[in-house]
Amino acid sequence: MPRRTIAIGDIHGCAKALAALIDVIEPTEDDVIVPLGDYVDRGPESRAVVDLLIELVDRCQLVPLLGNHEAMMLDALESAEVREFWYGVGGRETVESYGGSLDELPFEHSVFLRGLNRYYETDSHMFVHANYDASLTLDQQPDRLLLWEHVVHTLPPRHCSGKTAIVGHTPQGTGEILDMDYLVCIDTYCVGGGWLTALDVESGTVWQANRDGELRR
Ligand SMILES: [Mn+2]
């Protein structure tokens, strides 16, 4: 089988959806899987989502990106002020999934979260959580764009590398992928009743599962 590069959109604690996609994709050691960030918060099973991702490390070439929600979770471990804000934007559900306190955060989860990548790129595609400055190389991107800025607020032109950008973070309430050719957003709002999307960027194959782990297509 040819090597696949598969991006996965914003999971937000929807462990059943992620498990269903992993089952249908059947990742092998030849596959590069790029979850685009926002594994935790809002949905009910953030801890289980992180467990599933950690299991994938032994099964394929996993390149998990950092989302703004993981950035907040890490900052919340150090700062009471951030913690209060984070609780209000979905962190409370994450803490509940860890048994009510992050003091119980397993060591492997801490290592996983602290090792997340800011971006990934192939010869033809670039992968970031949220957005980018089209004139800056990927290692120069500011957090404000890379982690936070919705593409509906600031739509960038094609990146200077010429590569197709695969992004998450901006929820598509329709449940459909936003495909602008040079920029593809695959946050299809699983946690809000839409779909969790996986996209094979070379073949264009799409897999989608909902919060209950039901597949479509
Ligand atoms: Mn996000």
**How high is the pLDDT of residue 217?**
65
9 alpha carbon – ligand 1 mean position (Å): 10
**How high is the pLDDT of residue 1?**
54
68 alpha carbon – ligand 1 mean position (Å): 5
Given a contact cutoff of 8 angstroms between Cβ atoms, the answer to whether 127 and 72 are in contact is no
CATH number, domain containing residue 47 = 3.60.21.10
The pTM assigned to this predicted structure is 0.97
Express each pLDDT in 46-94 by its tens digit. Answer: 999 999 999 999 999 999 999 999 999 999 999 999 999 999 999 999 9
2 alpha carbon – ligand 1 mean position (Å): 31
192 alpha carbon – ligand 1 mean position (Å): 13
Q: What percent of the chain has pLDDT over 90?
A: 97
Side chain identity at residue 168, one-letter code: G
17 alpha carbon – ligand 1 mean position (Å): 17
- Please report, for residues 68, 157, 170, the alpha-carbon distance to residue 152 in angstroms, rounded to integers and kept in the order given: 17, 13, 7
1 alpha carbon – ligand 1 mean position (Å): 32
The count of structural domains within the chain is: 1
Domain that holds residue 100: 5-216
129 alpha carbon – ligand 1 mean position (Å): 7
Q: What is the C-alpha to C-alpha distance for residues 25 and 83, in angstroms, rounded to an integer?
A: 36
3-state secondary structure 35-74: ECCCCCCCCCCHHHHHHHHHHHCCCCEECCECCHHHHHHH
204 alpha carbon – ligand 1 mean position (Å): 23
13 alpha carbon – ligand 1 mean position (Å): 13
Per residue of the chain (217 residues), what is the pLDDT tens digit?
568 999 999 999 999 999 999 999 999 999 999 999 999 999 999 999 999 999 999 999 999 999 999 999 999 999 999 999 999 999 999 999 999 999 889 999 999 999 999 999 999 999 999 999 999 999 999 999 999 999 999 999 999 999 999 999 999 999 999 999 999 999 999 999 999 999 999 999 999 999 999 999 6
**How high is the pLDDT of residue 104?**
80
